[in-house]
A and B are shown apart, each in its own frame.
Chain A
Amino acid sequence: DAGVIQSPRHEVTEMGQEVTLRCKPISGHNSLFWYRQTMMRGLELLIYFNNNVPIDDSGMPEDRFSAKMPNASFSTLKIQPSEPRDSAVYFCASSLKGEQYFGPGTRLTVT
């Protein structure tokens, strides 16, 4: 298995632009998690899905952030409009029975 796949690996965009991050979980996993990591705030859970259904989105910073999981093999995290404080590394993780497996992350820089 290729593991969790995220794209793009790096994204540089200007403030106000829309950003879409993509994730392909490990085949057969039924839970998917989006995290954000910064030096200041550490690792933060943004939202997670179970069987493609959003379970808890309380970690989503504000309405500019949205996430979807249209099927078991794909999820997106969208930021519209983006702001410089959104600059971070965004991780996607998937799991089946407890331990989560993380993707390589997308490093987002908003200028």
Chain B
Amino acid sequence: AQSVAQPEDQVNVAEGNPLTVKCTYSVSGNPYLFWYVQYPNRGLQFLLKYITGDNLVKGSYGFEAEFNKSQTSFHLKKPSALVSDSALYFCAVTILSGAGSYQLTFGKGTKLSVIP
């Protein structure tokens, strides 16, 4: 079985400071990892993914994430936070299923608040 842990329910950061939203995972096999963002009253929006290759992946809106196999982590980062980054962030993991589809397992989400 696969699982995702987002250990922080909420992260507060001052505008302009670097931000990190943590994610650890557990799968049997090679993981495919994703980050999504959800703004109030909206659907989840895809930010970035790790499939294979370079451990540092870059995504939308200046976000990046680093895959660390030994620590089974995939933390989301941004060098300089904006107030508009305030939202709910979800980490997700999957492996290719026998049916050829990708059933994602989502974490519980981390609420990011960027303080002006």
B interface, by DSSP: helix, strand, loop or mixed?
Answer: loop
* A98 in contact with B94 (CB, 8 Å): yes
Q: Judging by beta carbons under 8 Å apart, are B101 and A48 in contact?
A: yes
**Interface residues of A, dominant DSSP:** strand
Number of B residues with CB within 8 Å of any CB on chain A? 22
Q: Of all chain A residues, which has the CB nearest B45?
A: A102
How far, in Å, is B6 (CB) from chain A's closest CB?
10
Q: How far is the CB of A77 from chain B (nearest CB, A)?
A: 15
Q: Which of A43, A100, A103, A104 contacts B102 (CB 8 A)?
A: A100
Return chain B residues, CB-CB under 8 Å to A93.
43-44
B106 touches A (CB below 8 Å): yes
CB within 8 Å of A: which B86-116 residues = 90, 94, 97, 99-104, 106, 108-109
Residues of B at under 8 Å CB distance from A?
32, 34, 36, 42-46, 49, 51, 90, 94, 97, 99-104, 106, 108-109
Name 14 extra pairs, CB < 8 A, besides A42-B109, A95-B102. Answer: A33-B103, A43-B90, A50-B101, A55-B97, A91-B43, A91-B44, A93-B44, A98-B32, A100-B46, A100-B104, A102-B36, A102-B45, A104-B42, A105-B42
